[in-house]
């Protein structure tokens, strides 16, 4: 037979409460709470959180349902070196190229060459 503490730990699950103030805002983690089930966790979150702040959305998620990358898997988060073409800084030279093309199109030689085909 287990101790009372073990019975309590087994009876309650940990839930994480997220909220956002406006429909376009990001969800923010607010706090954790212990509850016997998800319905009770939502009621507790509403009772405790909505007294303090006005929000447009409230999420309550069982902590064990949240998936996280293990410390040994964190190297998977490093960026590959061959993806620079996806960064906008790689296109910074285009403005200069367009300017060169635009200026090169209307130089003096080209303008005077038009006059050769004009009859007076």
| Residue 30, in any domain of the structure | yes
Count of residues in the chain: 120
What pLDDT is attached to residue 27?
A: 94
- In the predicted model, what is the mean pLDDT of residues 3-21? 80
Beta strand ranges found along 36-100 (DSSP E)? 57-62
| Residue 22, in any domain of the structure | yes
pLDDT of 83-95, one tens digit each? 666 666 666 777 7
Output Rg (C-alpha) for the chain, integer angstroms.
31
- In the predicted model, what is the mean pLDDT of residues 27-38? 94
Token duo for residue 51: 């007294």
Cα–Cα–Cα angle for 16, 21, 25, rounded to 5 degrees? 90
CATH code, domain carrying 36: 3.10.20.520
Q: Is the pLDDT of residue 17 over 90?
A: yes
| Residue 118, in any domain of the structure | no
| Residue 115, in any domain of the structure | no
Residue 34 sits in which domain range?
4-65
Q: How many domains does the chain have?
A: 1
Q: Is the pLDDT of residue 1 over 60?
A: no
| Residue 82, in any domain of the structure | no
Percentage of the residues of the chain whose pLDDT score is greater than 90:
38
Count CB neighbours of 45 within 10 A: 22
pTM tops 0.75 = no
């Amino acid at each position: 037979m287990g101790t009372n503490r073990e019975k309590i730990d087994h009876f309650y699950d940990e839930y994480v409460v997220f909220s956002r103030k406006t429909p376009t805002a990001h969800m923010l983690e607010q706090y954790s709470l212990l509850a016997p089930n998800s319905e009770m966790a939502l009621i507790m979150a509403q009772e405790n959180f909505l007294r303090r702040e006005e929000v447009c959305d409230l999420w309550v998620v069982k902590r064990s349902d949240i998936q996280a990358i293990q410390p040994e898997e964190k190297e998977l988060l490093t960026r590959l070196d061959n993806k620079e073409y996806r960064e906008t800084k790689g296109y910074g030279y285009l403005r200069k190229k367009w300017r060169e093309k635009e200026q090169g199109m209307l130089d003096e030689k080209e303008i005077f060459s038009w006059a050769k085909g004009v009859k007076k």
